[in-house]
Amino acid sequence: MALPGLFVSSERPRADNCYLGIPQCRCCASPLRSESLILYMDSPLETPGFRASPTTAVWVSMNEFVTQKNYIRTRIKHERQSLTSPFMQRSAIALLGHVSQSQLIENHNNIAFYLPVRGEISCMPIIEYALSLGKKCYVPKIRAGRKRSMWFLPYEGRESVEKGRFGISEPTASASRAIATSELELVFMPLVAFDNSGNRLGMGGGYYDTVFGNLSPQKRPQLIGLAYNLQKVPQVPAEKWDLKMDGVITPNHYHRFTEE
């Protein structure tokens, strides 16, 4: 199985290997089994703030690379999780600079954000900016027992969230305060990868595609992805149900895919 930019070896883990002694893959959390591969990147990673050495070992299950989407997810998540904290903080501030220049916050009232997890670029400075302008801010919470469904509940400051399942922060507001998705005007979305056509690759749960795909284009809010520069790829494999974004903001640039 040949993958671009990687050498593949079927060498089994050794007891003195730093990746051993853990039951799961560091980058995709998949259980390591006997058929796991060790993949070596064959060129230096030039991403600013990336701590790994030029030759970086990545343990993955063969099943994670059955599709091109999962290959991209695993590679990008591994790079993203290796960014240094100072670099991540500077990147979040850079996002705010592009957002304020674009007037996105000023031109909308009901705005959805996300609470960053697993190395996602932080939108917290943008949320604080929106709150300072008196905007109504919302963050998602997965609806238990409903497939690919989530509420958007009010975010009114750090005291309005708590650690939920799996240690992930989620809003404490009751479901009765959820806003209808058709009433949202602007949505900042997390992502794993994006391309110049506005295609988005998420974590694979399909939540955003389902929630906003059920809306007619006329009622759909403006969808803006937030990402590090390293998350841009030449092409994201897109399927007919995958929503396209209106834009993506990175620390370096505001990529616009539709006319505003």
pLDDT digits (tens, 9 = 90+) for 38-65: 343 333 334 444 444 444 444 444 343 3
Does residue 75 have a pLDDT over 60? yes
Position 99 pLDDT exceeds 90: yes
Query: What is the average pLDDT across 141-151?
Result: 77
Which of 44-48, 150-154, 172-176 bottoms out in mean pLDDT, i.e. has the lowest? 44-48
All structural domains of the chain = 6-81 (no CATH), 85-256 (3.40.50.10420)
Asked if residue 139 has pLDDT above 90, the reply is yes
- The model scores a pTM over 0.85: no
Out of 180-184, 233-237, 253-257, least confident range: 233-237
Average pLDDT over residues 188-196: 95
CA distance 249 to 252: 8
Q: Are 175 and 144 in contact (CB under 8 A)?
A: no
Q: Regarding beta strands 186-189 and 110-112, do their DSSP bridges make them parallel or antiparallel, or are they unpaired?
A: parallel
Angle at 228 between CA 227 and CA 232, to 5 degrees: 80
